[in-house]
Structure 1
Amino acid sequence: MSAISSIEKKSSLKSFLTDLKQLTKVGLSLSVVFSSVAGYLLAADIVSLNILVILSIGGFFMVGASNAFNQVIEKQTDALMKRTMNRPLPTGRMHVNTALTIAIIFTIAGIGLLYSINAKTALFGAISIFLYTSAYTPLKSVTPLAVFVGAIPGAIPFMLGWVAATGQFGIEAGFLFLIQFFWQFPHFWAIGWLQFEEYKKAGFNMLPMNTKDKGAIKQIIFYTIVMILVSIAPVLKVTGTFYIYPLTAVIIALAGFVMLYYAVQLYKTMSNTEARKLMLSSVLYITLVQIIYVVDKFLH
């Protein structure tokens, strides 16, 4: 009997951990931690393993909290979409109060850890959680401008690492913010294109003007170009202590042109296949750019 109850306990713990991973979107949270770490390595004169660990765990809690709050708010709409209907809350596997408790614990732990680095890091972490849950999430069903609002908390992690290393928010951190800010438009609009019908069922406005047409793709192309220009701007040494070699700028521009190519192909074909390629190339782009910046810094 005790063996059976032990197996049941293990099974229920395993399913709870699986649900927790879904609630906090572990994959997304880890990609955000990666951005923060890249920003820190870019700014730090002397790398502190201690700060890196605190930043990683604090950043993970911060994003996990945002995702948990988001799923509590969107429990009803998540039930309408294939992509989200199997999440813990719409299926009833997890109670709303449990999810809220997790979100609150993650928020307190995340901001507390970031505060132990410095006050500015904690402030930006708190702003990120607040904007994501209190502005972006409710605006999704009201206006396509929700993507602009959501791009603000989404752009904070890269810059958060710089602030964690320096305790300052200057032109360098501002530029890291802008790079990730402009990147989000082609990235999220590509997802919005792919999930257009699903989002429509849930009443979400995730494309410019909420229409799946060439006008939306023109905006994708425009923001991709702006993203490339902002990404290579540090080569001009207009971004304070953050600058890159000309060769680095060329490599980054080439990576950006891959995204631009798929955006143009999407304009020509208006197919989901090209939208998926654009989305995947955007994920590759932001990862590569962050790695390239860090490598470039250590070559100075």
Structure 2
Amino acid sequence: MSKTATPRVKHSLLSDFKEITKMRLALSVVFSSIAGYLLGVDEVSFKVLALLALGGYFMVGASNAFNQIIEKDLDVLMHRTRNRPIPAGRMSVKTAFIIASVFTVLGLSILYSINKQTAMFGAISIFLYTCVYTPLKTKTPLSVFVGAIPGAIPFMLGWVAATDTFGIEPGTLFALQFFWQFPHFWAIGWFLYTDYKRGGFFMLPTGKQDKGTAVQTIMYTIWTILISIVPVFGITGELKLSIIAAVIVFAFGLFMLFYAIQLFKKMTEKAAKQLMLASVLYITLIQIVYVIDKFIR
């Protein structure tokens, strides 16, 4: 008779704090915000940059903590999430709520100190993620569309923090990250399909690991690629892209598209995981290219 050993992970107060706020995810969001700020600013203010990073981190940490409070009974059903601080019993709901509330106040206060619009978009992000996206996840695959809105705000938020204006430039940055999230999250929804099903989450557009989902993943990847090169045509105001940078960004897009097509061909969880990794690499690299291109153009 064989026994499956469950690896023991040593948890500390710090590790639980990182997990309740999803520190790695929060830091990736901060990265997007900083990239957006550098694209929008004429002269870099390290004070504003620090405030944006700190406020953005608190904002995302609050959303993640509220999310885990709401989903605590569902998290315990899934292998991926059952060892989180609340379902594992290492952290009380009251403690998590205090962390989320303090993070909300700190995040919005810090963003407000930059300018009112930055705080407003931060508040919209927390509200949509917590009060709309999270409850919808167990009801409809359309939740991904709602969740893509707060997920797309950080890149745009940086520009708003730099300029205190909302126009075609931050709108383009928002659209780019908005459309990118569909192949990214559908890839995650595909390779975690069985685990999500345990918790009652149906994240794929058709609700299944089928050709319909794979085709839509390809379509949204193509939309992402097209939006990523729009600035080269000079129709996005102060957001510009040189021809060389546009070619590089387009090549990165083809790299992600390759893995989206591989998912369509293979229909495997391995292919979905490869697409997810490719999508993370893609969004990181194009944000870097956008920023470098601005400063060397």
Same topology, TM > 0.5: yes
Superimposed CA distance per residue, residues 154-191 of structure 1 (whole angstroms, 9 cap, x where no aligned partner):
00000000000000011000000000000000000000
Higher mean alpha-carbon deviation, 264-273 vs 147-156, is at: 264-273
Q: Distance in 1 between matches of 2:16 and 2:118?
A: 29
What amino acid is the match of 2:75?
A: D
What is residue 112 of structure 1 aligned with on the other side? 109
1:152 aligns with 2:170: no
What is residue 190 of structure 1 aligned with on the other side? 187
TM-score (norm 2): 0.96
27, 43, 51: which one aligns with 2:48: 51
1:72 aligns with 2:96: no
1:173 aligns with 2:170: yes
Query: Aligned-pair distance for 1:271?
Result: 1.0
261, 266, 269: which one aligns with 2:263: 266
Question: SS of the counterpart of 2:44?
Answer: coil
What is residue 241 of structure 2 aligned with on the other side? 244
What amino acid is the match of 2:17?
A: L
Query: Aligned-pair distance for 1:211?
Result: 1.2
Superposition pairs of residues 197-212 of structure 1, within 5 angstroms: 197-212=194-209
What is residue 62 of structure 1 aligned with on the other side? 59
Q: Distance in 2 between matches of 1:47 and 1:258?
A: 32
1:21 aligns with 2:14: no
What amino acid is the match of 1:61?
A: F
288, 293, 296: which one aligns with 2:290: 293
What is residue 9 of structure 1 aligned with on the other side? none
What amino acid is the match of 1:153?
A: P
What amino acid is the match of 1:62?
A: M
Query: Aligned-pair distance for 1:273?
Result: 1.3
Query: Aligned-pair distance for 1:129?
Result: 0.3
How well do the aligned residues superpose, as a CA RMSD in angstroms?
A: 0.7
* Structure 1 stretches lacking a partner, 5+ long: 1-13
273, 277, 290: which one aligns with 1:276: 273
1:32 aligns with 2:29: yes
Question: SS of the counterpart of 1:135?
Answer: helix
Q: Distance in 2 between matches of 1:268 and 1:58?
A: 42
Question: SS of the counterpart of 1:197?
Answer: helix
Q: Distance in 1 between matches of 2:233 and 2:189?
A: 34
Question: SS of the counterpart of 1:209?
Answer: coil
Query: Aligned-pair distance for 1:290?
Result: 0.5
1:131 aligns with 2:131: no
Identity percentage of aligned residues: 62
232, 235, 240: which one aligns with 1:235: 232
What is residue 6 of structure 1 aligned with on the other side? none
1:86 aligns with 2:83: yes
What amino acid is the match of 1:41?
A: L
What amino acid is the match of 1:245?
A: S
Q: Distance in 1 between matches of 2:197 and 2:48?
A: 43
Question: SS of the counterpart of 1:134?
Answer: helix
Q: Distance in 1 between matches of 2:190 and 2:150?
A: 22
Q: Distance in 2 between matches of 1:162 and 1:88?
A: 35
Higher helix residue share:
1
Superimposed CA distance per residue, residues 215-237 of structure 1 (whole angstroms, 9 cap, x where no aligned partner):
00000000000000000010011
Q: Distance in 2 between matches of 1:94 and 1:211?
A: 34
228, 250, 254: which one aligns with 2:251: 254
What is residue 95 of structure 1 aligned with on the other side? 92
Query: Aligned-pair distance for 1:16?
Result: 1.4
